[in-house]
């Protein structure tokens, strides 16, 4: 085994990790704005093409950046849970509001039917008393 084998593993694994992160020019732009990547090559598209074509000949050492991938997966899982929970709370609020409005409408319908029954009974009593 050559003495630079461990360095080779680190470099090839880093390139493969960057290939997973970079799919298009916008990804390069984001990584550069965060200070993770420095683009001295030219356009962001050239960097994206470089990383997307290079790893086909490389074999990464899977354990080196495994913790980075796990942390990224946890981060994205938290984002999805928060996103779903905010939509869930909006849905529950809308359903509760619809239920309350339905109950109010039912109450007023019930009140109006009681009033019409009472008015009908009063008018029938009045007409009976006039007939006597």
| pLDDT tier, 95 (very low <50, low <70, confident <90, very high otherwise) | very high
Confidence (pLDDT) at 124: 67
Q: CA 54 to CA 22: how far, in whole Å?
A: 12
| Contact present, 61 and 15 (Cβ < 8 Å) | no
Domain parsing of the chain, residue ranges: 1-64
Q: CA 32 to CA 127: how far, in whole Å?
A: 90
Exposed e or buried b per residue across 80-100, where buried means at least 16 C-beta atoms within 10 angstroms of its C-beta: eeeeeeeeeeeeeeeeeeeee
The answer to whether residue 126 scores a pLDDT higher than 60 is yes
Q: CA 18 to CA 49: how far, in whole Å?
A: 12
Q: List, for residues 2-34, the tens digit of each pLDDT value.
A: 555 566 677 777 777 788 888 888 888 988 888
Mean pLDDT of 24-52: 87
pTM confidence score = 0.46
């Amino acid at each position: 085994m050559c003495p630079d084998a461990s360095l080779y593993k680190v470099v090839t694994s880093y390139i493969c990790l960057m290939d997973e992160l970079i799919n298009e020019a916008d990804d390069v732009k984001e990584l550069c704005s965060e200070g993770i990547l420095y683009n001295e090559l030219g356009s962001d598209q050239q960097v994206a093409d470089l990383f997307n074509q290079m790893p086909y000949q490389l074999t990464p050492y899977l354990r080196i950046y495994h913790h980075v991938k796990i942390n990224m997966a946890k981060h994205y899982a938290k984002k999805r849970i928060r996103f779903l929970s905010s939509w869930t709370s909006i849905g529950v609020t809308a359903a509760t509001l619809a239920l309350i409005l339905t109950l109010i409408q039912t109450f007023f319908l019930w009140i109006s039917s009681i009033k019409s029954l009472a008015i009908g009974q009063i008018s029938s009593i009045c007409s009976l008393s006039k007939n006597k």
